[in-house]
């Protein structure tokens, strides 16, 4: 029976720079892409954010950060129209700035 060592046998032939580039390439391949929202979805996000600010409701915001989509739970405190970003107070009382262009979804928690 032939025992193949897989990638181990090729490691001695590769330069360390090539190995680091391959690892970086594999890491970049796992990155998610920012989704482009259509007009209807933007209008729904606007209505949901307005209602949440008006009534002080807690929201779950899905936003794009560091090549991945993340969720944050909190209350929308303020919308900065100049910088186009939401100021959200999370459950720990910290103020988090979220760019409006990177928001994918806003859900009011009941």
Written as six digits, the tokens of 79 are 């919308």
Q: What architecture does CATH give domain 39-108?
A: Roll (2.30)
Specify burial of residue 106 (Cβ count, 10 A radius: 0-12, 13-18, 19+). Answer: buried
| pTM across the whole model | 0.72
How does pLDDT run across 61-74, given as a tens digit for each residue? Answer: 999 988 889 999 99
Contacts of 106 (CB under 8 A, 6+ apart): 45, 48, 49, 52, 59, 60, 61, 62
Residue extents of the structural domains in the chain: 39-108
How does pLDDT run across 26-36, given as a tens digit for each residue? Answer: 888 878 888 88
Q: What is the DSSP letter of 93?
A: S
How many CA within 13 A on the CB side of residue 60? 6
């Amino acid at each position: 029976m032939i025992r193949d060592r897989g990638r181990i046998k090729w490691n001695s032939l590769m330069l360390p720079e090539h190995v680091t580039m391959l690892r970086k390439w594999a890491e970049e391949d796992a990155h998610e892409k920012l989704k482009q929202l259509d007009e209807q979805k933007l209008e729904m996000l606007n209505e949901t954010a307005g209602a949440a600010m008006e009534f002080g409701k807690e929201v779950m915001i899905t936003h794009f950060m560091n090549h991945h989509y993340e969720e944050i739970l909190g209350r929308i405190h303020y919308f900065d129209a100049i910088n186009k970003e939401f100021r959200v107070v999370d459950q720990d009382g910290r103020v988090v700035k979220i760019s409006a262009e990177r928001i994918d979804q806003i859900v009011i928690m009941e």
